[in-house]
Structure 1
């Protein structure tokens, strides 16, 4: 039965509801480029919690599914459009307010991670979570997937900075959870329940985040290695002694792709490269740099470069951030996001190389190596049916390997639609049953982000 969109248009201010087919097409896909993406019934672009509520009530009363979308940078298909569903996109909810007294920032979900960082920096404060896509990803999306990034080895992931949320539930009610206080043990920890829930429990319309004093200017150490295994063993040596502010990994495919794009004079013959940073205070920074350099040398680093110059350090950080778009120039990607306990990192990296060989596909591995979160990038031609089959087989085998090593199918990108088939293998039937019970309690009609996680 056809749904009368005119009543949705009437329920919201002019221009908030989009039905133009050409515009709807721009909201079909997210960064994962799921070939099975549908077409939205309509796109709602609210600017306030009240407008989100109006859209959700309209959908709830008519049993119309809802897809929650932020900046569309999901790498797991978490915001892929669904046929017959209304996409509620928070991209125009961008307000940011910093409270210096409490060292907090209140932001709407469409605010970009980079804009939150910039607003905090104007007051000498810092918001640490920093996905490689920080310039284009939204805070709402970061909340949805519990995003991490380059600094999380020392400073942790998004959930550790979320103090409060405003959430619109599936029936249109808006609830406030937490607040600006640093300590709060009143009732169940519901704030944390929504962080990482990928929009299947409610729509976040406001978030209160904890800020830190500005980070000290870090010292950067970069080294090339003859093999990926030796590089990962150097990671283990470093993390056994200190917690660096950053410890990032790129394999030879990524090194060469970045060099092709940025022309930085990187060592094209290297098997791997590590980028490490220390932001320790005072004399301690020299001590940490010495530990990093010693570990690099112990594991056969062929080149080792250290600098305290912030521009030089940022240049190498930018190289690591550029790895995904650089490798993507080789061809369309299936992007993995698997993590393992640190001692299993060498086995994971070696196992991915074996999977690439077995399936005759190119797989580049980049990683937040300091916390065991890797991003194998599978290059394939979607117009080549056999190569696509082999790429998808490798995709599944990498997740199987991560689970076998005691790890996870996603460290920070979320399960989305692309990985939900492997989630039961990781968490088991009891956890899946609990997850379904929570979903049923908060979204009894199953309207929020259908097909995601469950």
Structure 2
């Protein structure tokens, strides 16, 4: 991508008369980055809040002609720098494309624009007795387009899968061999099965806006759960003991709706902020939700509590108080913003085989001590997706350097345990070096070839994922 010339803004204004270009410095800054701490942010020349596929097509076509990079964003809740502006580029904000276009009760399908907020979609389909399971902790704010970009997971993905499992088809504005830049292409289907050609939909999901701009998504739905889930809570004297409980539950083939971990210090930070009425007197809590109905669900909840106790829980019980159970899961969702109140937070997103969870938690504790970094541990523990959060005091350069060193060591430890450097947040800017350490060189070459074939101008989100670190 060539460097943007001084006349670019004038040219964009002239060529995009139907779009309102955002050029105010403060507003532009507000849409130029996501929530990734310390990821670099370029100075965009302008932004556009698109309202239709046709407008996206026009913006992409003009930017291609002018060689202006395009970085697409939704709500900006990402944690890897994937939506950060690049120098001289244009930020394409899709948050105003927020319509639920169709809810098909017969075929269990919804068609939505990318700016629809995850929880808003859940509420809309619930009115029809349906359910959209992917539920990242950011679901009250994050958009479906952003969820598609990073293949977001969440609390329920342990049993019900991640975003890719629910994207049947999509429309994207692309370039390269599909035609001129600005071409809108439909891929995928509405059927539950289909193998006509390569899985282009699956390729776009998780590509972080580097292959085009998604403007419409066709999603699989499920019937709404018939009954409220049971909650099992276990308190542990150490993180490693909590990890052993996760491994034991896996060996016993227990499959809860969710199995979440919160360390004691993080839980106390949430309680001090939100006053949910939770007592945190242990090193870690495990929270399991069991949605199997009837007597089988009762047996599974009993077996889960037994696994917690056998792994060394201080106590483990099925919650009889629905309000208390909801408060515990609310605390899990609020953990990251609560920790942000203490200072800058650098968040990891590693995923390891479930048998490796105890060892990985021990690694994190050792890394915390080695670098003198406060690390709050939260996790989708049931599927091995751990989110250690490195907290550093504001304006402390030495603490910042220590946090970054701890971040890198955690990536190395995850790879050593046959894991991955990102389970659901995406590569973006922060994980590019980690991705190279993880992936086979041949696989990396294939990824670069795909990017070159589908985006020969390197127009879409350049420098991210497969870009140079």
TM-score bin, normalised by smaller chain: over 0.9
Alignment of 1:283-302 (within 5 A): 283-302=295-314
Tell me, yes or no, if structure 1 residue 81 matches structure 2 residue 85. yes
Contact 2:261 2:378 in 1 (8 A): yes
CA pair 181-418 structure 1, distance change in 2 beyond 3 A: same
Decide whether the 8 Å contact of 1:196 with 1:414 is kept in 2.
yes
1:54-73 correspondence runs (5 A):
54-73=58-77
Of 45, 52, 55, which residue of structure 2 is paired with 1:41?
45
What is the match of residue 247 of structure 1?
A: 259
Shift of residue 266 of structure 1?
A: 3.4
Q: Is the 8 A contact 2:154 2:162 kept in 1?
A: yes
Residue 303 of structure 1, aligned match among 294, 305, 315: 315
SS at match of 2:168: strand
Q: Give me the whole-angstrom Cα distance separating, in 1, the residues matched to 2:323 and 2:18.
A: 46
Report the counterpart of residue 226 of structure 1 in structure 2. Answer: 237
Structure 1 SS opposite 2:233: strand
Q: What is the Cα deviation at residue 176 of structure 1? A: 0.2
Determine the C-alpha separation between the residues in 2 that align with 1:283 and 1:180.
36
CA shift at 1:293, angstroms? 1.0
RMSD: 1.5
Q: 1:433 aligns with which of 395, 420, 445?
A: 445
**1:23 equivalent in structure 2:** 27
5+ residue gaps, structure 2, are 176-180
| Paired position in structure 2 for 1:140 | 145
**Partners of 1:86 and 1:296 in 2: how far apart?**
51
Structure 1 residues 323-334: aligned runs within 5 Å: 323-334=335-346
Name whichever of 132-141 and 327-336 sits farther off. Answer: 327-336
1:2 is aligned to 2:6: yes
Aligned pair 1:336/2:341, yes or no?
no
Residues in 2 aligned to 1:53 and 1:433: alpha-carbon distance in whole angstroms: 29
CA distance in 1, matches of 2:255, 2:130: 21
Q: Distance in 2 between matches of 1:302 and 1:341?
A: 25
Provide the rounded CA distance (Å) in 2 between the counterparts of 1:71 and 1:87. 12
Q: What SS does the corresponding residue of 1:180 show, helix, strand or coil?
A: coil
How far did residue 202 of structure 1 move?
0.9
Determine the structure 1 residue equivalent to 2:207.
Answer: 197
Superposition deviation, residue 281 in structure 1:
1.7
How far apart, CA to CA, are the structure 2 residues paired with 1:132 and 1:178? 27
Match of 1:214 in 2: 224
Segments of 4+ in structure 1 off by > 6 A? none
Displacement after TM superposition at 1:228 (Å) = 0.9
**1:154/1:13 Cα in 2 relative to 1: closer, same or farther (>3 Å)?**
farther
- SS of 1:25's equivalent? helix
Which of 160, 168, 182 is equivalent to 2:192?
182
What is the alpha-carbon distance in structure 1 between the residues aligned to residue 38 and residue 403 of structure 2? Answer: 14
Structure 1, residues 111-145: CA drift from partner, whole Å, max 9, x if none? 10011111110100000000001000010000000
Q: 2:432 aligns with which of 398, 420, 423?
A: 420
Using the alignment, how far apart are the partners of 1:52 and 1:251 within structure 2?
A: 44
Tell me the distance in 2 between the aligned counterparts of 1:105 and 1:16: 30
Alignment check: 8 A CA contact 1:219 1:309 kept: no
Task: Decide which of 347, 352, 365 is 1:353's aligned counterpart.
Answer: 365
TM-superposed CA distance for 1:6, in Å, is 4.1
Q: How far has the Cα of 1:253 moved from its partner?
A: 2.0
Residue 281 of structure 1 pairs with residue 270 of structure 2: no
Query: Alpha-carbon deviation of 1:299?
Result: 2.3
Q: How far, CA to CA, are the matches of 2:215 and 2:20 in structure 1?
A: 16
Give the secondary structure class of the aligned counterpart of 2:248.
helix
Q: Is the 8 A contact 1:218 1:308 kept in 2?
A: no
State the aligned residue count.
454
* TM-aligned CA deviation for residue 184 of structure 1: 1.1
Cα distance between partner residues in 1 of 2:355 and 2:270: 28
Deviation sequence 1:165-204 (CA, Å, 0-9, x none)? 0011031111001121111111111110000000101110
Q: CA deviation at 1:309?
A: 5.4
**How far does residue 3 in structure 1 lie from its aligned partner after superposition?**
3.1
How far did residue 209 of structure 1 move? 0.4
Matched-pair contact (CA < 8 Å) for 1:12–1:51: no
C-alpha change, 1:10 and 1:238, in structure 2 (3 Å) is same
Query: Does the CA-based 8 Å contact 2:138-2:333 persist in structure 1?
Result: yes
Q: How high is the TM-score relative to the length of structure 1?
A: 0.97
Structure 1 match to 2:386? 374
> Residue 205 of structure 1: SS of its match in structure 2?
strand
